[in-house]
Chains A and B, each alone.
Chain A
């Protein structure tokens, strides 16, 4: 195509301008690709310099380099506890996905249930889950089970709300079209409701996975003898503050990684929702 236009109006000035625009676009693309890394790097640089220039004592705010040194020094213990936390989180998150999506479908499919359960759901979600950990400990004892359940309790709500919203906001015209074809409620749900709620579902996964980490770590800090939350508590009790920050870095990294997984699933299975644009 550029050939055709080139033949019609072969102008060296235009060609030069075009080339410059193309170069600019390439640079902008590179900058955009590098920006998340640069921003993260910048954050750590400011943190490092701030600590050094202001002479902040290590037991208040350690530098990132000290935290990373602690990360390397205690890598065995951190790995053991982090992998445990990751597993706990994923189990809780998995339960939240199953239960949250099922509840969302039921609630979204029935306006009656939607109205009936709404206050209960909102009320339940307003309870700080850290307040529920002692109850869970009372029921299941200290350890992994309360952490799994806390992760589950924190994470299922956004999934339920989003799936239900996706189903409820179906275009009335579409419902009419299907009903006048003799479609049953199940048909409408299967053909339109569920596919339509997919973008909502995957968007909620990104929120839910990070919340699941929060839930698991909270429970571990309060009532566990294993996991990254537990490690943080012991480290801060013994004033090994760089280790605390090393743990925080690990949690953040795991959160980013799982978010990326959820985002790639979203792009894969609900990419149509972005209408072919950049997802």
Chain B
């Protein structure tokens, strides 16, 4: 929670460095090429978004960076270390909140604390500070007072907030979001954009957001990458130069709409390029 000590460092501009990475699923001869020659850099503390047609390997890119899947060629470096096995302190959230139904909201948020070293041993001896931290985080996303409820008692939007808290409680250096708001209604989605943006402004963690919602990418990200259809590679990158905090009103300004329009035209190209 000591956000004041977390200044974005400049000595390592490319916190995530992906260069010429390819990933081939299945054995040689069979299977398919999910990513081909993909290059992408994310600076420490940057909010990056990846958009592309469905089935373009956006989620595969996430697995590549987190080390859950291993590239077949190329370079994937996170924080100066080549990724060869799953990273240990990633925060993740998916379209499916995937909360544990037997745990209360608070216990769900505390799950990473029980797993990540060195928190897990500290937690065993002294739970109170972690519980405080979890409650504060839940309050920040507007979930004060539901700590002792179960996930399935909450609405989809609230579950997704819990999922976000779970992804952030251990203060990961990188947050990977795979269409986290994809299953929510439009109003809840917009509300959660604001929640996520506020958290990011306060803590400046590095984010990779995978989405197919172009306004979402423009609203949230500093930089948006467009990936072509399979085998996926980055075909267009644009910096979103809009002041923060961005409000919903901003999303109706010509500049915002221009960004979305520009991305949309590249998506159309991405769908044709094979």
Contacts and interface: CB of A to CB of B under 8 A. Distances in A.
B242 interface: no
A180 B88 CA distance: 5
B94 A173 contact: yes
B88 A272 contact: no
Contact of B96 (A171, A178, A183, A198): A171
In which size bucket is the chain B interface?
A: 20 to 34
Contacts of A181: 88-90, 112, 115-116, 170
Nearest to B153: A276
Contacts of A176: 63, 66, 68, 92, 94
Interface in B107-138: 111-112, 114-117
B102 A178 contact: no
Contacts of A115: none
Contacts of A123: none
A72 to B, nearest CB: 47
A198 B102 contact: yes
B115 A180 contact: no
A121 B270 CA distance: 50
Contact of A177 (B98, B101, B152, B153): B98
Given A182-B115, A191-B111, A273 B101 contact: yes
B150 A272 contact: yes
Given A173-B94, A177-B92, A192-B100, A182 B114 contact: no
Contacts of A195: 100, 102
Given A191-B111, A191-B114, A275-B152, A180 B90 contact: yes
B115 A178 contact: yes
A270 B167 CA distance: 26
Interface string B167-179: 1001000001000
Contacts of A177: 92, 98, 166-167
B74 interface: no
B87 interface: yes
Contact of B68 (A171, A180, A270): A180
10 contacts: A173-B98, A176-B63, A177-B92, A179-B68, A180-B67, A180-B88, A180-B90, A181-B116, A270-B102, A272-B101
Interface string B82-95: 00001111101010
A267 to B, nearest CB: 14
